[in-house]
Structure 1
Amino acid sequence: MASFIGSSASTNLALPQQSLKASTRISGPKVVSFSNLGRSNLPVSFRRLQVSCAAKPETVDKVCGIVRKQLALKDDISVTGESKFASLGADSLDTVEIVMGLEEEFGITVEEESAQSIATVQDAADLIEKLVEKSSA
C-alpha cells in the first residue's frame, strides 16, 4: 500500500508469513510554478523567460546597419541584437523611419501593430525573417 503526501511517499509492506512494516520517505522533485504571482521569488535566470526563433546573423547585421544609418550613430556606439531603439536615442518618429528603411531593404510590409511590438534590433530581425518567410511561401 503506497500513499503520497505532498512531495514525499510513505510505503507499508506486508509479507505473507511475517508481518513486516517498513516506512520509507522519498523526497520527490519540487514543482515550480511560472505564474505571474510570486515572480520575484524566481532565480534571475528565470525571471525573463523568452522563447524565440533567432534571426540569422546576416539579418541582424543588416538591421544594425539600417538602425545605425537612420539614427546617424557614431562609430563608437555599439549596436547589437540586444540594443533597444530607445536606448540608442530613437523616438517614435525615428522608429517609424527605421521600419520604413527595413521595409525598403527587405522588400516587406510591416503592419502597424507588428511595428509597435518592435523594441530591439533582435525584435526587428525576427519579424523580418518571419515576414520574408511568409511572403516566399
Structure 2
Amino acid sequence: MASVSATSLRFQPSFNLPTTTTQASYRSSGIVSLGWTRRSFPCLRSSRFRICAVQAQPETVQKVCEIVREQLALPAESELTPETKFSALGADSLDTVEIVMSLEEAFDINVEEEGSENITTVQEAADLIEKLVQEKGGAS
C-alpha cells in the first residue's frame, strides 16, 4: 500500500490483462490499493502508472461552484459540494461543454478535449484547473 495526497486517482495500466480482473481504489484516508485476481503479479517494470496528485485549492473549488451555478442558472442558495455531479444538477453534455468553456475563460487556460471528457464533478473540474494552471506557470 502507498500513501498519496490526492483527490483523484487514474489507473491506466499500459499492458492488457484479458483474463485478469484489475481494480484500483482510493479511500479518503489517502490509501491507494491495487489488486489482481490472478496469482501472478504483472511485472511493474513493464507497466506505467499515472497518478494525478494535484489537489485544488478551496478558492478554485468555490470559483468552479460559482461558474456552475451561473451556467446552469441555479439559485445562489443551491448547495454545491466538491462531489456534486453536473448530471445530478440536470446538466447534459452541451451544458458541460459550456461549463468547461466558461472555466477556460475564467482561469485563462485551455482544456483539451480528452481532459474535458473526464470532468463530471466540481472537484474533477477544480483539480484539472489547478493542474493546468501549474503547468502553464511552469511553462512561462
Q: TM-score, normalised by structure 1?
A: 0.63
Partner Cα separation in structure 1 for residue 71 and residue 78 of structure 2: 14
User: Which one-letter code corresponds to 1:35 in the other structure?
Assistant: G
Preserved CA contact (<8 Å) 2:56 2:126: yes
Preserved CA contact (<8 Å) 2:104 2:110: yes
Aligned to 2:35: 35
Preserved CA contact (<8 Å) 2:119 2:125: yes
Deviation by residue 1:73-108 (Cα, 9 ceiling, x = unmatched): 123421111110101111000000000000000000
1:134–1:78: structure 2 CA closer, same or farther, 3 Å change rule? Answer: same
User: Which one-letter code corresponds to 1:80 in the other structure?
Assistant: T
Preserved CA contact (<8 Å) 2:55 2:130: no
How many correspondences in the alignment?
Answer: 93
Structure 2: segments with no counterpart, 5+ residues: 1-32, 38-50
Deviation by residue 1:28-81 (Cα, 9 ceiling, x = unmatched): xxxxx74265xxxxxxxxxxxx97432000000000000000000123421111
- Give the alignment's Cα RMSD to 1 decimal: 1.8
Partner Cα separation in structure 2 for residue 109 and residue 79 of structure 1: 24
1:105–1:51: structure 2 CA closer, same or farther, 3 Å change rule? Answer: closer
Q: Which has the larger radius of gyration?
A: 1
Aligned to 1:109: 110
Structure 1: segments with no counterpart, 5+ residues: 1-32, 38-49
Aligned to 1:81: 82
Q: TM-score, normalised by structure 2?
A: 0.61
Q: How does 1:1-137 map to 2 (within 5 A)?
A: 34-35=34-35, 37=37, 52-137=53-138
Q: Which runs of 4+ in 1 moved over 4 A?
A: none
Which one has more relative contact order, counting CA pairs under 8 Å at least 6 apart? 2
Partner Cα separation in structure 2 for residue 36 and residue 78 of structure 1: 39
Percent identity between the aligned chains?
A: 59
